[in-house]
Amino acid sequence: METGAHRRYAEIMHDVEELINDHIEHQTCGTQGRSKLKHLVPSVGVFFTPLLLEEAFKFQDDRRKISSRRFVPPSFNDIRLTLNSAQLMSLTRNGPIELVTFDGDVTLYDDGESLTNENPVIPRILKLLRQGTHIGIVTAAGYTDAIKYYGRLHGLLDAVAQAITDKEVADPKVIILGGESNYLFEFDFHAESFLKYVPRKTWMLDEMRSWQEEDIQSLLDLAEGALRECVGSMQLSAQILRKDRAVGIIPVPIPGKPKFNREQLEEIVLVTQQILDLSTPGKKVPFCAFNGGNDVFVDIGDKSYGVLSCQRYLGGIEGSKTLHVGDQFLSAGANDFKARLACTTAWIASPAETVALLDELHFHREN
């Protein structure tokens, strides 16, 4: 029975893989609207590489024993991890991976925490740097001061500095794109906190230059109003936090009163999203309304602009040579989802999964 299930699952993956290959052929010719996959899944987007789904399933089946189970069918997580493996296999076999970008919270470290020296992801990232891969942190955290990013990422930054001192790496490229797509900092061994601020005008995409400051502030005014209305209607203990390129709500701790629950956060995101989508500024300036796990923020731009800006700043890296790793691809306000417009992606569910993903990436590179 196990052999039969393995064969049937592999055949299904093979068929889906062929549908994707057909879509990519149409995509290359500019006729993706006519592909079989587009007819079956009208919302399907761009594929930057083929996906080796059949081989990836066999790889994951060997580890997760999917076809050995009698009563539990292939799960969402089985499929998610199989897709990750398929993407890693394709990337490693079609030339070097030039850039890997990461989300912060829940991807590199637990929600609200920081990247400390003992974090097991650090030696894996250092290995990527030694192999010539550039590293980007594309995060919703929006700071204008390098010291604040150092506080969140000091374990990695200290490790990179030490690797330079030990001559393990010569000129590593590590950049941070904060506020989704608003603040760029670059690793600098001689700078305070090992980070230097890069002026926006030197890395902005052409489209971003067309965003008018008046429209940006009008959009943030509308977002702030929507957030205040949600806080009032749901009687939340919350504080409004306004920045130059973002506005959001954070909890105000009150003894005996719980923090926000997931349903409240997603309701706030959806209400705010709808109001901004229907507004005039919302049609002129891209934005991202997202659930941060214990807060809700609206940022100017989104992670597609963040990743594209990293690619441009680092010399014009293609989406097929870039991997973005994040945890928010599904629920309302999932801000990693937009990165799919800029490059290949891997969907993880915890920092431990990020470590396992990088181990798998190195395994495919070396085998």
Three-class DSSP category at 293: coil
User: Which ranges of 212-278 would DSSP assign to H, the alpha helix?
Assistant: 213-233, 262-277
Write the pLDDT tens digit of every residue in 270-306: 999 999 999 999 999 999 998 888 899 999 999 999 9
SS percent in the chain: helix, strand, coil, step 5: 50, 15, 35
- Does residue 323 sit in helix, strand or coil? strand
Tens-digit pLDDT profile for residues 311-362? 999 999 999 999 999 998 875 557 788 899 999 999 999 999 999 999 999 9
At residue 331, the pLDDT reads: 58
- The H or E element spanning position 135 is strand 134-138
The answer to whether 262 and 143 are in contact (CB under 8 A) is no
Helix axis angle, 213-233 relative to 262-277, nearest 10°? 140
pLDDT of residue 81: 97
Cα of 120 vs its chain's centroid, Å: 19
Query: Residues with catalytic annotation?
Result: 103, 105
Whole-model pTM: value is 0.93
262 — pLDDT class (breaks 50, 70, 90): confident
The model's pLDDT over 24-41, given as tens digits with 9 standing for 90+, comes to: 999 999 998 999 999 999
Neighbours of 263 (CB within 10 A): 10
CA-wise closest residue to 63 among 84, 33, 47, 44: 84
Confidence tier at 86 by pLDDT (50, 70, 90): very high
Provide the 10 A C-beta neighbour count for residue 237: 13
Give the pLDDT band of residue 1 (cuts 50, 70, 90): low
SS3 292: coil
Q: Mean pLDDT for the chain?
A: 93
Using the predicted structure, report yes or no on whether residue 255 has a pLDDT greater than 80. no
CA of 208: how far to CAs of 14, 305, 321, in Å? 40, 8, 23
Whether the CB-CB separation of 17 and 51 falls below 8 Å is answered with yes
Task: HSE, CB side, 13 Å, CA atoms: give it for residue 336.
Answer: 26
